[in-house]
Amino acid sequence: MRPAEGMPIFYKGGMAATQPVDDKVRDALSRPITVVDISTTGRKSGQERRIEIVMHNIDGRLYISGQPSRRRRSWLANLDTNPKFTLHLKRGARADLPATAREITDAAERRQVLERVARNWKRDDVDVMVQYSPLIEVTVPGV
């Protein structure tokens, strides 16, 4: 049985379930910047890994980035192995949503997005961010 429109499928503990994407969830996702948790699957352990991180809504598209670092983040390496993850909203709405990550590696696209992220964070080191900051685009079904 397929879920109704706006009711994405997600898997928790190996069982499929659905959660509505209602107006409260849409409002929470539309915030220009918000703190969320993400749960990824450990690339080596297969265990769930949950972290708190900042998400940006730029022109209706969702992005997660981080501070510049020469070291590749574990969460990004996990998403490279398995791009499916759970996005945990905790401000404006509480919801656990299925999501898919797309790492942004193209320099021009990275610059375009990270210039906006830098503005949100009041940073002026965009060149460093383009070179060393993790950056993914987040897709949530039904949004």
Measured between alpha carbons, how far apart are the two ends of the chain, in Å?
20
Structural element, H or E, at residue 74: helix 74-81
pTM, whole model, 2 decimals? 0.85
pLDDT at 20: 66
CA dist., res. 125 & res. 115, Å (int): 9
- Of 91, 137, 138, the C-alpha closest to 114 is 137
> Picking from 11-20, 46-55, 98-107, which range would have the lowest pLDDT averaged per residue?
11-20
Res 96: pLDDT: 95
CATH architecture of 9-139: Roll (2.30)
Distance of alpha carbon 107 from the chain centroid: 19
Polymer length of the chain: 143
* Over residues 110-138, mean pLDDT: 96
- 13 against 71, higher pLDDT: 71
pLDDT band at 14, cuts 50/70/90? very low
Express each pLDDT in 64-107 by its tens digit: 999 999 999 999 999 999 999 999 999 988 999 999 999 999 99
For residue 92, what pLDDT is reported?
A: 87
- Give the Cα separation of 129 and 111 in Å (integer): 8
pLDDT, greater one: 21 or 23: 23
Place of tokens 């397929």: 2
